[in-house]
A and B are shown apart, each in its own frame.
Chain A
Amino acid sequence: KQEVTQIPAALSVPEGENLVLNCSFTDSAIYNLQWFRQDPGKGLTSLLLIQSSQREQTSGRLNASLDKSSGRSTLYIAASQPGDSATYLCAVLVFSSGSARQLTFGSGTQLTVLP
């Protein structure tokens, strides 16, 4: 059974710092990995998607890497801003029976960027 772990559970940094969020998964048979952002009481916003054959993806100040063999992904946020404060969730898309797929989520990292 696929399990996804995110470390740390919470992180507080001063504005302007670069930071790294970690995600690990137990089964390397994934279709892709997605990083999401969730603001309190809201839905999930997709940040980056990495296909299983890719090593990294970049979008603005965000960079996500994937090492499928070791079951790890990192989300790098450059020059953090107070508006980056949110919970960041990592999820892997896995195959179940036939062509059915489902996301397995980590428990998230709650990020606070202090002005």
Chain B
Amino acid sequence: KAGVTQTPRYLIKTRGQQVTLSCSPISGHRSVSWYQQTPGQGLQFLFEYFSETQRNKGNFPGRFSGRQFSNSRSEMNVSTLELGDSALYLCASSLAGASSYNEQFFGPGTRLTVL
């Protein structure tokens, strides 16, 4: 079974630009969550999507947004990039059913560098 995939793996942008990151969950997984990892703040929760609906959102500005498609694939968008947005962005998927263990499986991440 294929794992969680994220594209692109590396991205370099300049301040003020916008970026879209993509995540394909494990087949059959309906929940997709996004996390930001930086050396200073560690891993921080961005948002969770389930059945095309944003179910939960972390404490990030409105420049960070996302969506989920009917095939459970998810995209994350960051507009008006700032230097502080440079980070490793990780996507996680889980079954998220009532009887599931809700184990989270992570992708390899997208390394975003903002110049």
Contact = CB atoms under 8 A, between A and B. Distances in A.
By DSSP majority rule, is chain B's interface helix, strand, loop, or mixed? Answer: strand
A111 to B, nearest CB: 17
B45 A108 contact: no
9 contacts: A32-B101, A34-B103, A43-B90, A96-B56, A99-B50, A101-B102, A102-B45, A102-B48, A103-B35
| Residues of A contacting B: mostly | strand
Interface of A: 31-32, 34, 36, 41-46, 49, 51, 89, 91, 93, 96-108
**Chain B residues touching A, range:** 20 to 34
Nearest to B111: A41
A10 to B, nearest CB: 14
Contacts of B88: 41
B101 A49 contact: yes
Given A32-B101, A44-B90, A97-B56, A105 B43 contact: yes
B68 to A, nearest CB: 14
